[in-house]
Amino acid sequence: MSRVLEGEPGSSGLSLAIVVSRFNQALTEKLLAGAREALTKCAVDDNAVDVAWVPGSFELPLTAKRFAETGRYQAIVCLGCVLRGETPHFDYVAGQAAEGIARVALETGVPVAFGVVTADTLQQAVERAGGAHGNKGYDAVMTAVRMANLLKKIDAVGEKEQG
């Protein structure tokens, strides 16, 4: 019979880092509030969470990578908000942030959750930062905790089969 592995939303002694963009801070503060709500729901000890503020979403991947390289965190959450404007700046920032965050996870083996709102309008962003479409900060923490727990299970299966 096949084995089914899934990460639960409980803390199990996890340490997390959260990287938050100051650009569009009125919205990223709401994402961080949602993230803190999810941490409470998952029973993650507040002392096991470090929060770093960076200038913008473009700086999220580098900071996430530095956190991952410390070996202290089982997951990292990146929070930001990039709004489409009249220039192609949105495409560069949003695309590079997404690509960089994914690369950090793949290169380090530490789950890095993408909690960056990318929206065409301010209203769309507001709806995703605690409005009608939920809170992407909350969602990102839930993803990070589940992924950290899933990777622990995968490692445990490998150890059990080897030992």
The DSSP bridge partners found for residue 42 are none
Token pair, residue 16, equals: 């997390």
Active-site hit among 25, 55, 72, 89: 89
Residues whose CB is less than 8 angstroms from the CB of residue 48 and which lie 6 or more positions away in sequence, other chains included: 11, 13, 14, 15, 16
Strands 134-135 and 49-54: unpaired
**Do the Cβ atoms of 79 and 31 come closer than 8 Å?**
yes
Token pair, residue 39, equals: 């941490």
Specify whether 133 is catalytic: no
User: Catalytic residue numbers?
Assistant: 89
